[in-house]
């Protein structure tokens, strides 16, 4: 213990704990980020920013799952108690990993638009009235805020300032935070995954947390159930034959508190089971040098008075005991913290040197954070460390390999800047029907046009509508879908000399199609993957910025899977359609051919989610 809030508890155990933790996290991230893509061998891998975001997000979920499993494991098997020591370091590291995940997401999915990225985070997806497409970002924001609060208040100063009960209640927010993370993942990436390895790992982790907490609660309830109460309201603890020198029996009292009854030097004493430091389980501790020693951080109390030895000032409540025959009984009414209570002598009892209460007892090892680990625990802890590090590496590999192939979309920087000439069309979105091609753009192609980032080129194309123009930029393509991101300045799109050829359109009738509404730029290759629920907010920002929208149909029309989608009569896509972006939907509309590009003018009343 320390009488000042300074880092006096750094020791070899703490360094080792942190080293193992960092090794596991580093291996998870390394395998996910570098080994897995090599195994996948995609010709067009996932964008680095997306892959990084997924790696850190998956790591944060796994770390949070492990943290929440430590508590119930320690309650079920006391050999796990050493893992509770320094668990707050694990939590703080989780916050940094989660913040890195958020950094990649915000600076990729929500950047490059006309809006501030933090504002966009709140308004880009507002489809709160539906399950598929629900703004899963909200759950992530809540969980991250809670984790930051818990990390910021993790120092002992805040426990002392807020008092342990208040501090504990605040840190119970970890459970709603975890539920929010579960919802964040469930409503987000899992709805897009075709490979179910990620889903299985996620469900296994969430089930482990819930299952272990349920098992621990049931076991603790069974252990702590009071046997009976007589007319004087005394609570039966156990029979004298069940008591062991230097150890405690823990019981749950009617008011919900727990009492720890110790046998020490042939006498019985009872104190609160909750340590004044962090509510650690005093009843799971041992008596060392006549003082009950908390197994979490080594805080000590005189079992007869509930007081810490000078100069420390911590106190815990004491309880009054009595013997009824051979039955140990406790008065459930706690005495004020630090109240001395005369121990109850046990006839014929005595302490055996080196017995069960000894720190050197090989059968019952006891761990305190600032002391060397007992020899009997070392093999177990080493095994846990190996399982932890190798398990994180294995999970990183499995989750990395499980990432779905993002498809054929590509940002063709390898083509270099392309310069073509064609007729500019403005309605419903800027298009260029190519009349003079380049090395990689053939005559007759119809290019959708976009600007830098999540912006369209309506203002630049409007003065040139129906005229010949020279366009210069980078090509994006996915199958028969092509888009040009125009270079900045006047050289990106400028008037050209020549005769404007007649541009014909061909109606192809009315169709009822099933598929997904996407933004044309990310779909074509600006982002991989550029579709799915996880991409919904980004797609909405692109469409709000006048990037041409594309309908990806499961029923090819005249051999085309990608159709430029518009509102009725060739108007821009109506706002009500944005709530259906990135979902599997059905819609009816009229299809016409413009060059080699098909345009679908939908009837918004027919747009509905497909079963």
Per-residue pLDDT tens over the stretch 230-248? 434 888 888 888 888 888 8
pTM of the model: 0.83
According to the model, what pLDDT value does residue 372 have? 67
Q: What is the tens place of the pLDDT at every residue in 171-224?
A: 999 999 999 999 999 999 888 888 889 999 999 999 999 999 999 888 877 755
According to the model, what pLDDT value does residue 570 have? 86
Distance CA 124, CA 23 (A): 37
Residues of the chain with pLDDT under 50: 1-8, 41-44, 226-232, 350-362
According to the model, what pLDDT value does residue 280 have? 80
Structure letter (DSSP) for residue 500: P
Taking the CA atoms of residue 584, residue 586, residue 590 and residue 591 in that order, the dihedral angle to the nearest 10 degrees is 40
Distance CA 248, CA 287 (A): 9
Q: Are 505 and 478 contacting, i.e. CB atoms less than 8 angstroms apart? A: no
According to the model, what pLDDT value does residue 357 have? 37
According to the model, what pLDDT value does residue 364 have? 56
Token pair, residue 137, equals 């970002």
Q: Are 25 and 93 contacting, i.e. CB atoms less than 8 angstroms apart? A: yes
Distance CA 468, CA 432 (A): 9
Closest to 566 (Cα-Cα) out of 427, 395, 444: 427
According to the model, what pLDDT value does residue 378 have? 83
Closest to 135 (Cα-Cα) out of 87, 170, 185, 187: 187
According to the model, what pLDDT value does residue 610 have? 86
Distance CA 16, CA 381 (A): 11
Q: How many CA atoms lie within 13 A of 4 on its CB side?
A: 3
Residue 420's CB: how many other CB atoms inside 10 A? 23
Closest to 526 (Cα-Cα) out of 597, 594, 595, 452: 452
What residues are paired with 402 via a beta bridge?
none
Cis peptide before 428 (omega within 30 of 0): yes
Structure letter (DSSP) for residue 575: G
């Amino acid at each position: 213990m320390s009488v000042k809030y300074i880092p006096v508890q750094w020791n070899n155990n703490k360094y080792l704990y942190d080293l193992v933790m960092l090794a596991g996290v580093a291996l998870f991230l390394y395998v996910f980020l570098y080994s897995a893509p090599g195994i996948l061998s995609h010709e067009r891998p996932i964008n680095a920013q997306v892959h990084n975001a997924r790696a850190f997000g998956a790591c944060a979920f796994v770390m949070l799952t492990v943290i929440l499993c430590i508590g119930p494991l320690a309650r079920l098997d006391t050999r796990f108690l050493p893992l509770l020591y320094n668990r707050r370091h694990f939590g703080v590291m989780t916050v940094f990993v989660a913040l890195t995940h958020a950094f990649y997401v915000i600076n990729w999915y929500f950047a490059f638009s006309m809006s501030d990225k933090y504002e966009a985070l709140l308004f880009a997806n507002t489809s709160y009235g539906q399950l598929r497409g629900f703004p899963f970002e909200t759950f992530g924001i809540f969980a991250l805020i809670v984790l930051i609060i818990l990390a910021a208040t993790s120092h002992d100063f805040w426990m002392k300032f807020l008092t342990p009960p208040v501090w504990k209640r605040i840190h119970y927010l970890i459970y709603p935070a975890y539920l929010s993370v579960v919802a964040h993942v469930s409503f987000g990436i899992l709805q897009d995954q075709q490979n179910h390895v990620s889903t299985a790992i996620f469900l296994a982790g969430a089930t482990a947390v819930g299952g272990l907490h349920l098992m621990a609660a049931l076991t603790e309830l069974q252990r702590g159930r009071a046997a009976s109460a007589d007319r004087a309201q005394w609570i039966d603890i156990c029979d004298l034959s069940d008591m062991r020198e230097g150890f405690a029996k823990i019981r749950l009292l009617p008011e919900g508190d727990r009492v720890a009854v110790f046998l020490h030097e042939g006498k019985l004493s009872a104190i609160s089971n909750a340590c004044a430091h962090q509510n650690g389980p005093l009843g799971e501790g041992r008596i060392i040098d006549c003082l009950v020693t908390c197994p979490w951080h080594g805080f000590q109390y005189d079992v007869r008075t509930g007081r810490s030895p000078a100069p420390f000032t911590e106190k815990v409540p004491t309880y009054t005991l009595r013997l009824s025959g051979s039955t140990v009984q406790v008065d459930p009414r706690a005495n004020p913290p630090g109240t001395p209570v005369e121990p109850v002598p046990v006839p014929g009892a005595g302490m055996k040197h080196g017995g069960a209460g000894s720190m050197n007892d090989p059968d019952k090892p006891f761990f305190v954070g600032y002391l060397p680990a007992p020899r009997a625990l070392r093999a177990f802890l080493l095994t846990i460390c190996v399982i932890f590090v190798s398990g994180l590496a294995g999970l990183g590999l499995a989750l990395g390999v499980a990432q779905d192939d993002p498809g054929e979309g590509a940002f063709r920087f390898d083509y270099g800047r392309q310069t073509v000439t064609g007729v500019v069309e403005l309605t419903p979105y800027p298009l260029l029907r190519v009349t003079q091609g380049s090395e990689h753009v053939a005559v007759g192609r119809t290019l959708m046009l976009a600007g830098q980032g999540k912006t369209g080129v309506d203002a630049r194309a409007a003065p040139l509508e129906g005229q010949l123009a020279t366009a210069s930029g980078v090509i994006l393509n996915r199958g028969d879908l092509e888009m040009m991101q125009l270079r900045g300045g006047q050289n990106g799109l400028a008037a050209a000399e020549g005769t404007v050829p007649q541009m014909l359109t061909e109606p192809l009738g009315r169709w009822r199609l099933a598929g997904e509404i996407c933004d044309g730029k990310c779909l074509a290759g600006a982002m991989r993957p550029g579709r799915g629920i996880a991409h919904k907010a980004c797609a909405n920002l692109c469409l709000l910025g006048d990037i041409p929208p594309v309908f990806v149909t499961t029923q090819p029309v005249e051999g085309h899977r990608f159709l430029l989608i518009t509102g009725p009569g060739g108007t821009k896509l109506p706002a009500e359609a944005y709530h259906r972006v990135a979902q599997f939907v059905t819609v009816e509309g009229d299809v016409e051919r413009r060059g080699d590009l098909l345009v679908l003018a939908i009837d918004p009343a027919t747009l509905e989610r497909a079963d």
